[in-house]
Amino acid sequence: MASLELVRCPTCKAETRWEGNPHRPICSRRCKLEDLGNWAAERYRIPGREVTAEGEIPEKPAGEDED
Q: Could you tell me if residue 19 is inside a domain?
A: yes
**What is the model's pTM?**
0.60
| pLDDT grade for 38, boundaries at 50, 70 and 90 | very high
The mean pLDDT of 46-58, rounded to a whole number, is 74
Cα separation values, 61 from 4, 27, 51, Å: 50, 42, 13
| pLDDT grade for 50, boundaries at 50, 70 and 90 | confident
Q: Could you tell me if residue 52 is inside a domain?
A: no
| pLDDT grade for 48, boundaries at 50, 70 and 90 | confident
Q: Could you tell me if residue 64 is inside a domain?
A: no
Q: Could you tell me if residue 49 is inside a domain?
A: no
Domain containing 29 equals 6-40
Task: Report the distance separating Cα 53 and Cα 36, nearest Å.
Answer: 24
Q: Could you tell me if residue 17 is inside a domain?
A: yes
Number of domains in the chain: 1
Q: Could you tell me if residue 22 is inside a domain?
A: yes
Task: Report the distance separating Cα 6 and Cα 17, nearest Å.
Answer: 5
Q: Could you tell me if residue 47 is inside a domain?
A: no
